[in-house]
C-alpha cells in the first residue's frame, strides 16, 4: 500500500501530458509581408529646353598677319609682345631708317631742283613769246621754249612722285598695328633683317574669338543663326555665345559640318585660341515626360522603373518595367515608353525586385 501514492502521481502526470498534446495551436494564415514601404509618383509633362551637344576648337574670329613692307632693313626695336592689347596705328616695331632717310632727302632736293628748272623754262618761254610778238623770234623758237617748259614740268612731277614714294617708304620704317586687337604671336627680333612677306606679328582682330563646332550632317539642319550656345570653359565656367552662320558644306571624310559661333566679348579672359572644348546649342523648349531620378533604376546599361499595379491601395505588387531616358534637368529625368498615368515607386528602387509586395504610404506628384 505504500507504493500507491507514487503510482497515483505518475498517472496524474500522464493524464496532464495527454491533455496538453491533444490541444493543437491555432492555425495562422497571414498575408505576404511587404518588402519595403514606398511612396508612389506619376510622371509629369514639363516644358524643358532641348539641347544639341557638340565639340570643336576655339579660334580667332580673324587673325591678321603683320609683315614688313620694306625689305633688307634691320629691325632696331620691338615694342609689342604676345598677349598685349594694341590699338590701330600703334607702333609694334621700328626698322633702321638711315638709308630711307637719305633717299627721302635726295628726292626732296630733286623736287627743289626740278621746280627751279621749271621756273627758268617758264620765264624763257614768256620772254620768247613777248619777243615773238614783236617779230624778233620765229615760230620755231617759240615751239622750242614751250617744249622746254613742258619738259621741266614733267621732270618736276616725276621728282614729286619720287619724293612721295620716299616718304611712303620712310613711313613704313615703323611696323604698325592695322587694327585694334591682341598680339597672338611675335617673330620679330632686334637685329634681324626684314624680308618681303616675312611674318613679324599675328594679331587677333578686336580680341574676338569664335567656336567652330562640328555636328553631323543630320544635326546641321536643326541649327540656324541666332540660336544660343553654351561652352564648358576651364574649372566649369560657362561661356555664352550665339550661332553666326552654319557652313553650307559637309566634310566628305568626317561627314560633319562646321557651325561658327560668336563668343561673348570677354571670352578671351576664359578661353584661349586653339583650345578644344565641348558645348551645347539651345534648340528651344519642348515637352518632356519626366520622373525623379530616384525613381529610375540603372542596371546593366538599361533603365527601369517599378510600376505599381493599378487600383492598389495600401499593399501592392510592383512590376519591373524597362523605359528609355533622355534629357536631365536638376533632379528629374526624361523617360519614354511609360504610360503618363502610371504610378511608379518614387525612391528606394535599388532594394526591390520584380514582383515584390510594397506598402504605399503616399501617391503624389513630386515637383
Write down the mean pLDDT value for the chain. Answer: 84
CA–CA distances in Å: residue 25 to residues 15, 31, 33, 85: 19, 19, 22, 95
pLDDT score for 266: 86
Q: What is the spatial distance between Cα 275 and Cα 210, in angstroms, rounded to a whole number?
A: 11
Q: Which fold has domain 36-49+287-363?
A: 2.40.420
* DSSP H or E segment with residue 193: none
Kindly indicate the confidence band of residue 362, based on its pLDDT and cuts at 50, 70 and 90: low
Q: How confident is the model at residue 9 (pLDDT cuts 50, 70, 90)?
A: very low
Lookup: cell for 101: 632717310
Give pLDDT, residue 31: 53
Q: Does residue 238 have a pLDDT over 80?
A: yes
DSSP code at position 186:
E
Q: Between these two residues, 265 and 33, which has the higher pLDDT value?
A: 265
Lowest mean pLDDT of 10-24, 80-94, 174-188, 236-250, name the range.
10-24
C-alpha to C-alpha distance for 262 and 58, rounded to whole angstroms: 10
Return the domain boundaries, the chain: 36-49+287-363, 53-62+208-284, 64-181
Q: What is the pLDDT of residues 41-59, one digit of tens each?
A: 999 999 988 889 999 999 9
Which pLDDT score, from 0 to 100, does residue 164 have?
85
Indicate the CATH number for domain 53-62+208-284: 2.40.30.170
- H or E segment and range at residue 133: helix 98-133
Confidence of residue 167 (pLDDT cuts 50, 70, 90): confident
Alpha-carbon gap, residue 335 to 267, rounded angstroms = 36
Question: How do residues 279-312 score in pLDDT, each as one tens digit?
Answer: 999 988 889 999 999 999 999 889 999 998 876 6
| Cell numbers standing for residue 45 | 509633362
Res 156 pLDDT > 90: no
* CA distance linking residue 273 with residue 275, whole number of Å: 6
Convert the pLDDT of each residue in 326-338 to its tens digit.
Answer: 888 889 999 999 9
Q: According to the model, what pLDDT value does residue 12 have?
A: 44
Q: Report d(CA 251, CA 320) in Å as an integer.
A: 45
- Mapped onto helix, strand or coil, the DSSP state of residue 228 is strand
Q: 235 φ, ψ to 5°?
A: 60, 25
Q: CA 58 from chain center: how many Å?
A: 6
Between strands 181-186 and 357-363, the pairing is unpaired
* Percentage of the chain lying above the pLDDT 90 cut: 40
Question: Longest C-alpha distance within the chain, in Å?
Answer: 203
pLDDT at 268: 84
**Going by DSSP bridges, is the β-strand pair 63-66/85-86 parallel, antiparallel, or unpaired?**
unpaired
Helix (H) or strand (E) holding 207: none
What mean pLDDT do residues 64-71 have? 88
Amino acid at each position: 500500500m505504500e507504493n500507491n501514492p507514487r503510482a497515483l502521481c505518475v498517472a496524474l502526470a500522464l493524464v496532464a501530458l495527454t491533455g496538453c498534446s491533444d490541444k493543437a495551436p491555432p492555425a495562422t494564415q497571414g498575408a505576404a509581408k511587404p518588402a519595403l514601404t514606398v511612396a508612389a509618383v506619376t510622371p509629369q509633362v514639363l516644358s524643358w529646353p532641348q539641347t544639341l551637344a557638340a565639340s570643336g576648337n576655339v579660334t580667332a574670329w580673324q587673325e591678321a598677319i603683320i609683315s614688313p613692307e620694306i625689305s633688307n632693313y634691320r629691325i632696331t626695336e620691338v615694342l609689342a609682345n604676345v598677349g598685349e592689347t594694341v590699338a590701330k596705328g600703334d607702333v609694334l616695331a621700328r626698322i633702321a631708317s638711315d638709308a630711307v632717310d637719305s633717299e627721302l632727302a635726295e628726292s626732296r632736293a630733286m623736287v627743289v631742283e626740278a621746280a627751279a628748272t621749271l621756273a627758268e623754262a617758264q620765264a624763257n618761254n614768256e620772254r620768247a613769246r613777248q619777243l615773238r610778238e614783236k617779230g624778233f623770234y620765229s615760230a620755231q623758237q617759240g615751239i622750242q621754249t614751250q617744249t622746254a617748259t613742258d619738259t621741266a614740268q614733267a621732270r618736276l612731277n616725276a621728282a614729286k612722285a619720287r619724293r612721295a614714294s620716299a616718304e611712303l617708304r620712310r613711313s613704313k620704317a615703323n611696323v604698325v598695328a592695322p587694327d585694334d586687337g591682341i598680339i597672338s604671336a611675335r617673330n620679330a627680333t632686334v637685329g634681324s633683317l626684314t624680308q618681303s612677306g616675312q611674318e613679324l606679328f599675328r594679331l587677333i582682330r578686336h580680341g574676338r574669338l569664335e567656336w567652330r563646332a562640328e555636328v553631323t550632317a543630320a544635326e546641321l539642319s536643326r541649327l540656324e543663326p541666332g540660336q544660343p550656345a553654351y561652352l564648358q570653359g576651364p574649372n566649369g565656367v560657362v561661356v555664352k555665345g550665339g550661332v553666326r552662320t552654319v557652313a553650307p558644306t559637309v566634310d566628305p571624310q568626317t561627314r560633319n559640318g562646321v557651325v561658327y559661333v560668336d563668343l561673348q566679348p570677354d571670352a578671351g579672359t576664359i578661353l584661349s585660341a586653339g583650345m578644344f572644348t565641348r558645348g551645347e546649342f539651345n534648340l528651344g523648349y519642348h515637352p518632356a515626360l519626366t520622373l525623379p531620378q530616384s525613381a529610375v533604376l540603372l542596371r546593366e546599361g538599361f533603365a527601369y522603373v517599378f510600376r505599381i499595379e493599378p487600383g492598389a491601395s495600401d499593399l501592392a505588387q510592383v512590376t519591373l518595367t524597362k523605359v528609355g531616358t533622355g534629357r536631365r534637368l536638376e533632379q528629374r529625368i526624361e523617360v519614354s515608353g511609360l504610360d503618363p498615368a502610371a504610378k511608379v515607386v518614387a525612391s528606394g528602387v535599388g532594394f526591390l525586385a520584380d514582383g515584390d509586395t510594397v506598402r504605399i504610404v503616399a501617391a503624389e506628384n513630386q515637383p
